[in-house]
Amino acid sequence: RVCALSKKENEAAPACDVFKFDGCGLTKPFPDGKLALSACVNGDLVRWDLAKGKDPQTPTAKGGGSRINALAISTDGRLAATGGDDETVRLWDVLAMKPVSTLRGHKGMVTAVAFSPDGKVLLSAGEDRVIKSWDVQGELACADKFAAGRAFLDAGKPAEARNAFEEAVACRPAN
């Protein structure tokens, strides 16, 4: 339910809008207050335009199929992070509504994620009782290398793909 509050003592509050999307509950507002993001039990994300409802221009972002337990949005509103039952943390491009990186290292479901105020660090915690610190820019750079490798494979360039994949694997330290 999204409701506006009355600004004056004797003024009736405007009617509430109800945004409904089955299986989605955990919701966070974007820093600008115009949009919100909901995490769903099937691992998907839904972006809402708080003035209109579900954003008609952008499809729901398809996740990994695992329940999302934790959700955070970066202070610039460009990235989201989720933590799930599958022991992973995912970084999402919320403008394109696509997952961009899957971070592995927890030994139990991930129950909390948070960006640092400058957006450079992502913290995650889970049932394994471990707090992990992730370099956001480094993870995005690795994701770009993996994407380049996939593009080379699609273009029929296996040697270039191999080099890109090797660079991508090398850029990720063991967690």
What's the average pLDDT block by block, 10 residues per block, for the chain (175 residues)? Answer: 49 52 78 88 84 63 80 94 92 87 91 94 94 85 76 87 79 59
Q: How does 61-93 read in b/e, with b if 16+ C-beta sit within 10 Å?
A: bebbebbbbbbbbbeebebbbbbbbbbbbbbbb
Helix (H, G, I), strand (E, B) or coil at 4: coil
What sign does the dihedral 144-135-113-20 (CA atoms) show?
Answer: negative
Res 77: pLDDT = 93
Amino acid sitting at position 97: M
Res 9: pLDDT = 58
Cβ atoms of 3 and 16 closer than 8 Å: yes
Res 19: pLDDT = 53
